[in-house]
Amino acid sequence: MLSVKHLTDTNELTKDDFYQILDTAKAFEEINSRPIKKVPALKGKTIVNMFLENSTRTRSSFEIAEKRLSADTLNFSSSGSAVKKGESFEDTARTLSAYKIDMVVIRDSHAGAPELLKNYTDAVIMNAGDGKHQHPTQTLLDLYAIRAHFGKLEGLNIAIVGDCSHSRVVGSLVPAFKTLGIKTTLVGPRTFMPKFVDQMDVNYTSNIEEVLPEVDVVYLLRIQLERIDSTPIPSLEEYRDLYGITQERYDMLKENAIVCHPGPVNRGVEIDSELVYAPKSRIIDQVSAGLYVRMASMYLLLGGEVNGIAD
């Protein structure tokens, strides 16, 4: 049993919650290696994917996870929907909830949207990203991919590079790393840092080359190209010069170190094109891990037992 009813914020998860989900995800990895990948775990359950902000990757991952768990699903997105016609969040939420659904997977550009949703539905809520706040399943998949490589999480040393202040990925990673005993260093210009980074339980440096030889994982954040005009850096070229993973910087990494990125990658910005699938890259493993941890979280939140997945 998880200590939470909903999965909205990694600050609420205990160490035990993380390991329950990661261990359950391991069982789902095994199931996904079979010729028939579908299990009846969530048969008869209805899940609404309420994606009010554009998403291809996260949404695909959730949809496949739901299908493999045999859940009935409804996809609801902002484009072409009532939301576009001006229906309020409350009305949309109450309407969907009236169908007696079991779970809502919500993606929204506003911080706190899952919390607001709780006012209008009794369904279990999975946060698939809310504004600049939280993205818990991203963190779970990162942890899964990292643990798969190192066999452990505690004591690892991880650098997160990029725009940390406008990142829900960081919003979820940092508290999780803290709970799990992972040493965290944020890397980037001050304009990319939370304003009070010095008061956080993390290290901070603007010199990536200083940390590369020391870390086990270098976690690259995506530069939001769609917001580049308001992004507080002068140019992508300068960002690559100062923080991009070039061959030279890649070679500074420890033998056993890995490179992660939540995707989609801006090739030649965060990391040079030819290194995206280099041996240390775990970018594709992260994508697979997304399927496993999402299956695991949905299964556990809808009442499944940690070791109860039927053969």
Partner 1 sequence: MALLIKNVRAIDPSCDLDEVVDIVIQDGIIKEVGQNLSIEKGVTEDYSGKIALPGFFDMHVHFRDPGQEYKEDIKTGSQAAVAGGFTGVATMPNTKPTTDTAELVSYQYEKAKELGICKVYPLGAITNGLKGEHLAEMGSMYNAGALGFTDDGHGVQNGGMERTAMEYSRQFDALIISHCEDEGIVGKGVMNESPISDHLGLTGWPTLGEEIQIERDIELAKITGARLHIAHITTAKGVEMVKKAKAEGVQVSCEVCPHHLLLNEELIDSKYPVNLKMNPPLRSKEDMLKLQEYFIKGDIDCLVTDHAPHAEHEKNIHFEDAPFGIIGLETSFALIHTNFVVNGKMSYQDLVERMSIAPRRLLHTEPVQIKAGSKGDLTIIDPDKKWTFENKDIYSKSKNTPFKGYEFIGKVSDTIVDGYHSYQDFKLAK
* Contact pick of 26, 67, 110, 249 for partner 1 (by CB under 8 A): 110
CB 122 within 8 A of CB 99: no
| 137 versus 165: smaller Cβ distance to partner 1 | 165
Q: In whole angstroms, how close is the CB of 130 to partner 1 at the nearest point?
A: 7
Total residues interacting with partner 1, rule: CB under 8 A: 26
85 is annotated as an active-site residue: yes
Q: 133, 135, 240, 261: which is the annotated catalytic residue? A: 135
By the rule CB under 8 A, 59 interacts with partner 1: no
Which residues ranging from 155 to 214 are in contact with partner 1 (CB under 8 A)?
165, 168, 171, 194-197, 199-200
Query: 254 an active-site residue?
Result: no
Rounded to whole angstroms, the Cα distance separating 46 from 138 reads: 22
37 touches partner 1 by CB under 8 A: no
Alpha helices in 83-125 (DSSP H): 89-97, 113-117
Structure tokens at 260: 């992660």
Segment contacting partner 1 by CB under 8 A, of 65-73, 103-111, 180-188, 247-255? 103-111
Q: Does 112 bind partner 1 (CB under 8 A)?
A: yes
Residue 147 catalytic?
no
- In terms of DSSP H, where are the helices of 52-187? 57-68, 89-97, 113-117, 136-150, 168-179
Name the minimum Å distance from CB 102 to partner 1: 23
116 binds partner 1 (CB under 8 A): yes
- Cis link prior to 279 (omega < 30° from 0)? no
Near partner 1 in 128-157, by CB under 8 A: 130-134
Instruction: Pick between residue 37 and residue 132 the one whose CB is nearest to partner 1.
Output: 132
Q: Is 262 in the site for partner 1 (CB under 8 A)?
A: no
Q: What are phi and psi of 169, to 5 degrees?
A: -60, -45
Distance CA 77, CA 54 (A): 8
Q: Could you give the CA distance from residue 195 to residue 190 in angstroms, rounded to a whole number? A: 8
Catalytic pick among 5, 15, 43, 57? 57
58 is catalytic: yes
Selecting among 6, 59, 68, 107, the annotated active-site residue is 107
Q: Which amino acid is at 167?
A: S
Cα separations in angstroms, 24 against 30, 179, 217, 271, 305: 10, 19, 23, 32, 9
- Where on the phi/psi map is residue 151: left (φ > 0), alpha (ψ -120 to 50), or beta? left
Q: Measured between alpha carbons, how far is 246 from 157 in angstroms, rounded to an integer? A: 21
Stretch of 70-78, 110-118, 242-250, 293-301 lying at the interface with partner 1 (CB under 8 A): 110-118
- Counting contacts by CB under 8 A, is residue 113 touching partner 1? yes
**Active site members:** 57-58, 85, 107, 135
Q: Which parts of this chain interact with partner 1 (CB under 8 A)?
A: 9, 11, 88-90, 108, 110-113, 115-116, 130-134, 165, 168, 171, 194-197, 199-200
